[in-house]
């Protein structure tokens, strides 16, 4: 039995007039290019009703979880307003799919757990790719890639000329609990010691400032901004050679292929269209200034 839609041009025109009036028909046909293409636009999309993509379109809202990691996601201390590279990307997404955004801040240590529990639909901060994370959450894109840089106290600078000097039992890194650097350090510099802090990522540099730890590592932009903000004591080691270029992107739950395919291609569009680079340059220049 043939279940393909069978709607004549006259029936289609009657349907569209009933939906939105003659002006809606003219607008749809003009934008689509033909009655046949316009007809296709009002058919069922094929998106699973169980998909987040279908749910957010039905409810008109998208829930985004985030952790602060300037310049990707941050909250202005004076205005309390959110901003950052990936904040702007999220705003662009909401505008294009015509939904409102709901924000939920989470600690890095709880980010993937909250996502898997369904507390929000996508984790929108700059999430470095790691294998342990990839086993529990589904990375999107990637929309960007970055390397890591390592910062130390000026009083320790003479000890470190390159990454080759980090892998020693008398070297201590300070990292934020749940940050990707924790696993990266264990794998890349297994002889080094690690102490951890909780809260915002930037707080994990405090033990280096007080000389309770020797090194602090983060994404290259984050580290450069940290060094500029703390010029009295902070210095970057071998700044011209970031370590391990790695995807840093969004994440969703496993098992939702429609949502994954949609975000993957949309993320690629954000990158290839130049929007990501434009927002990247804007926020880097703003924070440096």
Segment 155-192, tens digit of pLDDT: 999 999 999 999 999 999 999 887 889 989 999 999 99
The confidence band for 19, taking pLDDT boundaries of 50, 70 and 90, is very low
| Residue 15 pLDDT | 42
Residue of 283, 186, 174 lying closest to 234 (CA atoms): 174
The confidence band for 201, taking pLDDT boundaries of 50, 70 and 90, is confident
Helix, strand or coil for residue 5?
A: coil
Q: Which of 35-49, 90-104, 108-122, 264-278 has the lowest mean pLDDT?
A: 35-49
Structure tokens at 166: 């980090």
The confidence band for 18, taking pLDDT boundaries of 50, 70 and 90, is very low
Walk me through the domains of the chain, giving residue ranges and CATH numbers.
10-41 (no CATH), 52-144+248-288 (3.40.190.10), 147-245 (3.40.190.10)
| Residue 259 pLDDT | 97
247-288: pLDDT as tens digits: 999 999 999 999 999 999 999 999 999 999 999 999 999 987
Res 10 pLDDT > 70: no
What mean pLDDT is reported for the chain?
86
| Residue 41 pLDDT | 52
Query: β-strands 193-197, 172-176: how paired?
Result: parallel
Task: Give the contacts of 31 (CB within 8 A, at least 6 positions apart).
Answer: 38
Q: Which residue has the higher pLDDT, 95 or 31?
A: 95
Strand partners, 61: 100
Residue of 139, 57, 64 lying closest to 102 (CA atoms): 64
Strand partners, 138: 252
Give me the long-range contacts of 254-259 (CB less than 8 A, separation at least 24).
254/137, 254/138, 256/50, 256/51, 256/52, 256/53, 256/138, 257/51, 258/47, 258/48, 258/51, 258/53, 258/54, 259/51, 259/52, 259/53, 259/121
Res 212 pLDDT > 80: yes
25-83: pLDDT as tens digits: 455 445 555 445 544 554 567 899 999 999 999 999 999 999 998 899 999 989 999 99
198 touches 261 (CB < 8 A): no
């Amino acid at each position: 039995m043939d279940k393909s839609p069978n709607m004549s041009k006259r029936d289609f025109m009657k349907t569209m007039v009933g939906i939105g009036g003659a002006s809606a028909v003219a607008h749809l046909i003009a934008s689509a290019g033909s009655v046949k293409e316009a007809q296709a636009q009002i058919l069922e999309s094929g998106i699973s009703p169980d998909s987040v993509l279908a749910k957010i379109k039905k409810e008109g809202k998208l829930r985004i979880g985030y952790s602060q990691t300037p310049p990707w996601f941050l909250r202005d201390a004076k205005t309390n307003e959110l901003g950052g590279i990936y904040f702007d990307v999220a705003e662009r997404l909401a505008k294009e799919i015509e939904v409102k955004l709901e924000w939920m801040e989470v600690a890095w240590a709880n980010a993937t757990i909250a996502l898997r529990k369904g507390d929000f639909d996508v984790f929108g901060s700059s999430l470095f790719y790691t294998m342990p994370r990839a086993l529990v959450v589904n990375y999107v894109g990637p929309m960007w890639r970055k390397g890591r840089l390592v910062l130390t106290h000026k009083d320790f600078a003479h000890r470190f000329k390159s990454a080759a000097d980090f892998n020693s039992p008398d070297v201590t890194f300070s990292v934020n609990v749940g940050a990707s650097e924790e696993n990266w350090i264990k794998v890349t510099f297994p002889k080094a010691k690690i102490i951890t802090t909780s809260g915002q990522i930037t707080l994990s540099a405090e033990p280096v400032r007080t000389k309770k730890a020797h090194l602090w590592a983060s994404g290259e932009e984050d580290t450069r901004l940290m060094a500029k903000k703390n010029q009295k004591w902070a210095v970057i080691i071998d700044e011209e050679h970031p370590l391990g270029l790695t995807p840093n992107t969004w994440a969703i739950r496993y098992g939702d292929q429609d949502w994954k395919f949609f975000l993957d291609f949309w993320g690629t569009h954000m990158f290839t269209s130049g929007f990501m680079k434009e927002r990247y340059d804007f926020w880097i220049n703003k924070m440096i200034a």
